[in-house]
Amino acid sequence: MSTAKARSAHAKAILGPELHARLASTKILLVGAGGIGCELLKNVVLTGFGEITLLDLDTIDLSNLNRQFLFRKKDVKQSKALVAAQSAAPFNPDVRIKPIHANIKEPEFDVQWFRGFDIVLNALDNLDARRHVNKMCMAAQVPLVESGTAGYLGQVQPLMKDVTECFDCVPKPTPKTFPVCTIRSTPSQPIHCIVWSKTYLMGQLFGEDEDAGSELDDAEKQGENAQEIATLRKEALAFQAVRQALRSPNSKDAAAKMVFQKIFDSDIRNLLVMSDMWRTRTPPTPLDFDKIVEGSSDPPKTHSEAMHTSVNGSDPMPNGQTNGKAPSGKGQPSLKDQRTLSLKDNLLLFVSSTERLAARLQAGEETISFDKDDDDTLDFVTAASNLRSTAYGIQVKTRWEVKEMAGNIIPAIATTNAIIAGLIVLQALHLLRRSYDKLRNVYIQFKPAVPLSTVNLSPPNPACGICRDTYTSVLCDPSRATLGDVVKGVLGDDDREVSVYEDKRVLSDPDWDDNNDRTLESLNVTRGNFLSIVDEEGEWGTISVAIGLLPESHPAGAPPFVLPDPPPQPSRKEKPNLPPPSTPPRASLKRSAPDDSDIVESEPSAKRMKADVLASPSKKRRLEEDGLVLMDSATDVLDDNVIEID
């Protein structure tokens, strides 16, 4: 038997000659060439898929090499998609792998582009991209296999419009956020100090020079302490001087000390003035740079130490941690990252990492943000969060622990990725055979005797704001097609009252047609966007219009759009008893349009609630100005592993 025949003998025997032959011309899109993606690419190539498009936006990092086996050290900094394709192609001489180094959310990957695939396989690591691919697959009616791993756990979920639930049929946990003032003034846990260093302090010192005021405006609206907000505003203003020092070659040596004194001494003294704030809390202790360097500073005790001492008079070290004082050599782990740093160690690490980051700014880097794999930023965040913890009497953390917490890292396990990648192919084959009764959600669970569990699929959620929409496409020239013409064209003879949205923006409603004569381009609606046409009475399903570009063959004198033929037929809506599943609140509600003075933003599913208060944009605007947050679902669960602060 020739090598090529031998290579495919098993796959052919298992799949049967007909399906095996079909795979050679089946077009698959694989999104993500990371931990799961590398395993999956190998699997699909060896199974006999012949036409593979592999897309990933990232380049290879040294830390990927322990599990992303298609990459070698020489490939670091190269495109993941390109290198993975080159490494996997020789596994099957007949395979064609087209690598694309790009973000799947780019407008060029529009619904028409997705329609070119027979199946899509996700190997992603974030909710945003997963939700995007889900919507595109629902719109293009292409089957999708979704997957994810977290440590020893993993899941595979086959999704098919109108057959199964989609990824958005069930609300996803919202990333955990902390109130601004907990982070900025009253931390009580190590994570608060880590989030402060990574998000706030790094941003202020090494990020873009931007006004931190809007975050404080929001906090003020939400009723947080006004005097405290005023102090924080002053603090933010004073950052200008230290920012400049960090960027000026003359003050390099002094800059780190200046930063230290501002944030760990004078900012803390300013907060202490607000005696009200410390009535029920332990006040922080300012840190003295010179005394710590001399070794004469006596670090404040952690809360638990203080409590313990008062109970039994001893001086314990909770959880083997110390606050400032390194334990004597015995018992200290030998790995550098796992050693507890003393107060002086943290100060010296703060100075050296600040100097390294300042040197990078002076060498031309415009901004530097936290990256767990960038040693300078990890050192800075470790030292800064430990110094802040010390000032607030909170336990310090090792560099290793800070890396885990700041990077929201759950260790990636190569074997879990490999098992999940195998299960993805099995579910993909069921979808391609249209054996829908065989589809299962598959989980890896913590039960050695039964490591895999399968769950039958649920039908689509009738209230889902993604897969219950009726999708259609309009090809147009957005610089000439007007909103009114496109919407009227799609509705045809149907003269129902409708509102039109792009994502969360209301573009028109029955009492407000100011935008109807504006071009789509002027409304910032272009290729890759969707217009949602929502029935005002809530009787008919939403029509989602994917905007694509006109073909080159489109005659010059013809109208600047091509309408769907036949026109979309939205389904009559069953009135759900439950509120629709929520779209998790997004980090930012604001999207810029060239002139968005006439554009109102609201949660997309609010349109389906048809609440009277939301019927007119002016009312919506007022509600938002009042700082009112409209929740779509009361069932959102906070996930403790995910920490995000904006």
Ligand X SMILES: Nc1ncnc2c1ncn2[C@@H]1O[C@H](COP(=O)(O)OP(=O)(O)OP(=O)(O)O)[C@@H](O)[C@H]1O
b or e along 356-366 (b: 16 or more beta carbons within 10 Å of the residue's beta carbon)? bbbebbeeeee
**374 near ligand X (CB under 6 A):** no
CA 43/CA 56 separation, integer angstroms: 17
CB of 428 to Zn ion, least distance (A): 20
Q: Which residues contact 6 (CB under 8 A, 6 or more apart)?
A: none
- Residue pair 646/177 in contact (Cβ under 8 Å)? The answer is yes
Residue number with the smallest Cβ distance to ligand X: 34
- Our finding on whether 205 is near Zn ion (CB under 5 A) is no
Question: Closest CB to ligand X among 123 and 425?
Answer: 123
Q: According to CB under 6 A, which one of 56, 110, 118, 235 is a site residue for ligand X?
A: 56
Residue closer to ligand X by CB (options 235, 401) is: 401
- Look at residue 464 and give the partner it binds from Zn ion, ligand X, none, a contact being a CB closer than 5 to 8 Å depending on partner kind: Zn ion
Segment (H or E) for 415:
helix 414-433
Closest approach of Zn ion to the CB of residue 170, in Å: 8
* Cβ neighbours around 594 below 10 Å, total: 8
Q: Which one is catalytic: 169, 181, 193, 467?
A: 181
Does 125 participate in binding ligand X (rule CB under 6 A)? yes
Say if residues 127 and 146 touch (Cβ distance below 8 Å): no
Looking only at residues 460 through 489 of this chain, which bind Zn ion when binding is defined by CB under 5 A? 464, 466-467
Tell me if 368 contacts Zn ion by CB under 5 A: no
Q: Contact region for Zn ion (CB under 5 A) — 98-106, 162-170, 346-354, 488-496?
A: 162-170
Q: How far apart are CA 124 and CA 37, in angstroms?
A: 8
Tell me the residue type at 97: I
Residue 473 neighbours by CB distance under 10 Å: 22
Residue 50 C-beta: closest distance to ligand X, Å: 23
467 touches, from ligand X, Zn ion, none (C-beta below 5 to 8 Å by class): Zn ion
- Side-chain-side CA neighbours of 442 within 13 Å: the count stands at 22
Of 70 and 498, which has the nearer Cβ to ligand X?
Answer: 70
Nearer to ligand X, 32 or 284 (CB): 32
Q: Where are the beta strands (DSSP E) in 107-202?
A: 119-122, 144-150, 153-159, 174-176
* Tokens of residue 221, six digits: 């609206």
Nearer to ligand X, 126 or 222 (CB): 126
Mutual angle of helices 252-260 and 343-362, in 10-degree steps: 130
**Closest approach of Cβ 642 to Zn ion, in Å?**
22
Least Å from the CB of residue 238 to Zn ion = 49
- DSSP E strands in 75-142: the ranges are 96-101, 119-122
Residue 34 near ligand X by CB under 6 A: yes
- Between CA 42 and CA 69 the distance in angstroms is 10
CB 530 within 8 A of CB 546: yes
Nearer Cβ to ligand X, position 32 or 460?
A: 32
Q: Is 251 helix (H, G, I), strand (E, B) or coil?
A: helix
**How do strand 638-643 and strand 174-176 relate by DSSP bridges?**
parallel
Helix (H, G, I), strand (E, B) or coil at 267: helix
d(CA 57, CA 37): 13
Between residues 146 and 376, which has the closer beta carbon with respect to Zn ion? 146
What residue 169 binds from Zn ion, ligand X, none (CB within 5 to 8 A, per partner kind)?
A: Zn ion
Enumerate residues 6+ apart whose C-beta is below 8 A from 590.
601
Between CA 24 and CA 30, with CA 27 as vertex, the angle to 5 degrees is: 115
181 is annotated as an active-site residue:
yes
Which tokens go with 14? 């298992």
Closest distance to Zn ion from the beta carbon of 164 (Å): 9
Write each residue from 57 to 96 as x if it is in contact with ligand X (CB under 6 A), else as -, in one continuous string.
Answer: xx----xx---------------x----------------
Task: State in angstroms the smallest separation of the CB of 105 from ligand X.
Answer: 5
Of 11, 65, 129, 432, the one binding ligand X (CB under 6 A) is 129
Dihedral sign (CA 509, 510, 514, 518): positive
Q: What is the enclosing helix (H) or strand (E) of 141? A: none
Distance in angstroms (rounded) separating the CA atoms of residues 646 and 644: 7
**What is the closest distance, in whole angstroms, from the C-beta atom of residue 401 to ligand X in the complex?**
17
- Residues 379 and 361: their CA atoms lie apart, in Å, by 16
Binding map of Zn ion across residues 409-448, x = CB under 5 A, - = no contact: ----------------------------------------
Smallest distance from ligand X to CB 160, Å: 22
- Does position 98 interact with ligand X (CB under 6 A)? The reply is no
Closest CA to 213 of 182, 193, 234: 234
Which of 25, 103, 338, 408 contacts ligand X by CB under 6 A? 103
Pattern 411-450, ligand X, x by CB under 6 A = -x--------------------------------------
Which residues, 254 to 293, sit near ligand X by CB under 6 A? Answer: none
Q: Does 166 bind Zn ion (CB under 5 A)?
A: yes
Give whichever of 362 and 641 is closer to ligand X, judged by the CB atom. Answer: 641
With binding defined as CB under 6 A, does residue 154 bind ligand X?
no
Is 457 one of the binding residues for Zn ion (CB under 5 A)?
no
Site residues for ligand X per CB under 6 A: 32-35, 37, 55-58, 63-64, 80, 103-105, 124-126, 129, 412
The residues carrying an active-site annotation are: 181
Site residues for Zn ion per CB under 5 A: 166, 168-169, 464, 466-467
